């Protein structure tokens, strides 16, 4: 049987299970103000797909196309995103007493961060649905990536970001032809500005306010499973801003479990790392809460983590609780030191967000969250070069 390019069936509200059609543009559930989740015919996938065939396909995230939302392959946009390397960190591992420490280097994506994955998939789907104008409020990297993929897709782009966003983000968006609007304040203020513009025919691709960036981020989870022989590492350490990548990895785990492709169903324990100057998930996790409160006066050098309140907060916390994970905060000084340590010991110049995961290891060791024999995977979400001023 020939399978269609995508096994997407419908969208479901993450709170009350309302269903929505994937054949027209959708944002979030208007009844519950909750993110929408893409659902696939996993039964058919289970019966007709073989996990080992994916290794033989052309490189990049579109190798997972049956489990991505684009129906007609002609609408798939690519700049070569996905298939980033999983590197072992022997020196840092020795230093920390961890015998199986790894890092997935998302800095190798187009535009230098993992935001490329989400934008590649979201803009491909919007192009398939006939949309021509996209906008995004952003802490920086999502805007740079969106601008690049919009240029590639022939769509108009508008990027709204804080005026103190790293300069590389402003320049990469402008050179790709996007209209850049700098505002005083944080991503939450940019989001308010964006909300007033959706009326004018611009589609808002904010984190969790449309269902498809999550699908792009999900491919990290597929790649992780594949790289580790279809056994997730025991621990995955992720720098959480809005947390969409963490939810994406968790969604990948759940889909792979249903597909029966995992050698071992044990879930990875997910760690959300935040900055002490903006740690809404840490505060909520410690209070065993199911949602986050808005973090006042957010401040950190890790601009991607400067998200005072995620629209998908409930999903992120659910993934942390369900996976027996944890949320922890590190200081900007710890992030700077970790950045130096990672670059000098392993040759990886990580973004501050990625370096935060290294800083977190010291806390995780101290709290005995880690066992020295476990496989621990850090996500370096971006390149340190993007943050040079
Ligand atoms: C956006 C971003 C993050 C946070 O990602 P979320 O999925 O929003 O949690 C982390 N690191 C970098 C480099 C980013 O650009
Ligand atoms: Zn709903």
Give the model confidence (pLDDT) of 50-73 as tens digits. Answer: 999 999 999 999 999 999 999 999
Mean pLDDT of 291-319: 97
**pLDDT class for 198, splitting at 50, 70, 90?**
confident
State the distance from the centre of ligand 1 to the C-alpha of 110, rounded, in angstroms. 15
Atom of ligand 1 nearest to the CA of 139: 1
Q: Residue 139: pLDDT band by 50, 70, 90 thresholds?
A: confident
Instruction: Grade residue 187 by pLDDT with cuts at 50, 70 and 90.
Output: confident
> Ligand 2 centre from 34 Cα, in Å?
6
Task: Look over the chain and give the mean of its residue pLDDT values, rounded to a whole number.
Answer: 96
**Residue 82: CB partners within 8 Å, gap ≥ 6?**
59, 60, 61, 62, 63, 109, 117, 219, 223
State percent of the chain over pLDDT 70. Answer: 99
Q: Is the CB of 302 under 6 A from ligand 1?
A: no
Q: Tell the residue nearest (CA) to atom 5 of ligand 1.
A: 241
pLDDT reported for residue 100 = 98
pLDDT band at 2 (very low <50, low <70, confident <90, very high): low
Topology given in CATH for the domain delimited by 115-204: Rossmann fold (3.40.50)
Q: Report the distance separating Cα 291 and Cα 29, nearest Å.
A: 17
Q: How far is the CA of 45 from the centre of ligand 1 (A)?
A: 30
For residue 39, the CA-to-ligand 2 centroid distance in Å is 15
Q: Is the pLDDT of residue 1 over 60?
A: no
CB 119 less than 6 A from any atom of ligand 1: no
Reported pTM: 0.97
Q: What is the CATH number of domain 86-113+211-387?
A: 3.40.50.1100
The helix (H) or strand (E) run that includes residue 193 is helix 187-195
353 lines ligand 1 (CB under 6 A): yes
Residue 9 has pLDDT above 80, yes or no: yes
In degrees to the nearest 10, what's the CA dihedral of 31, 32, 36, 37? -120
The ligand that comes nearest to the alpha carbon of residue 243 is 1
């Amino acid at each position: 049987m020939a399978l269609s390019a995508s096994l997407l069936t419908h969208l479901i509200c993450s709170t009350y299970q309302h269903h929505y059609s994937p054949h027209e543009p959708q944002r979030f559930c208007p009844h519950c103000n909750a993110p929408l989740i893409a659902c696939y015919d996993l039964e058919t996938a289970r019966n007709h797909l073989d996990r080992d065939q994916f290794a033989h396909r052309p490189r990049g995230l579109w190798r997972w196309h049956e489990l991505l939302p684009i129906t007609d392959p002609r609408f798939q946009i690519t700049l070569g995103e996905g298939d980033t390397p999983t590197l072992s960190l022997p020196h840092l591992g020795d230093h920390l007493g961890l015998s199986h420490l790894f890092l997935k280097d998302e800095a190798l994506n187009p535009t230098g961060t993992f935001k490329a994955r989400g934008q590649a998939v979201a803009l491909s789907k919007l192009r398939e649905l006939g949309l021509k104008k996209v906008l995004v409020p952003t802490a920086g990297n999502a805007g740079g990536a969106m601008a690049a993929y919009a240029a590639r897709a022939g769509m108009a782009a508008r990027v709204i970001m804080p005026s103190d966003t790293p300069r590389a983000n402003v320049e990469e968006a402008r050179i790709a032809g996007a209209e850049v609007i700098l505002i005083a304040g944080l991503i939450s203020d940019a989001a308010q500005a964006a909300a007033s513009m959706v009326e004018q025919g611009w589609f808002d691709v904010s984190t969790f306010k449309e269902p498809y960036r999550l699908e792009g981020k999900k491919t990290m989870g597929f790649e992780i499973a594949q790289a580790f022989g279809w056994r997730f590492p025991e621990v995955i350490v992720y720098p959480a801003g809005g947390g969409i990548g963490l939810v994406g990895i968790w969604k990948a785990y759940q889909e792979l479990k249903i597909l029966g492709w995992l050698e071992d169903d044990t879930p990875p324990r997910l760690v959300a790392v935040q900055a002490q100057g903006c740690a809404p998930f840490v505060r909520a996790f410690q209070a065993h809460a199911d949602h986050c409160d808005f973090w006042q006066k957010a401040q950190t050098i890790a601009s991607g983590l400067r998200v005072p309140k995620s629209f998908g907060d409930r999903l992120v916390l659910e993934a942390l609780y369900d996976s027996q994970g944890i949320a922890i905060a590190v200081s900007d000084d710890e992030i700077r030191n970790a950045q130096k340590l990672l670059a000098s010991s392993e040759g990886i110049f990580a973004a501050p967000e990625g370096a935060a995961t290294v800083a977190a290891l010291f806390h995780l060791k101290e709290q005995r969250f880690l066992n020295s024999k476990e496989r621990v995977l850090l996500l370096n979400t971006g390149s340190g070069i993007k943050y040079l001023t």
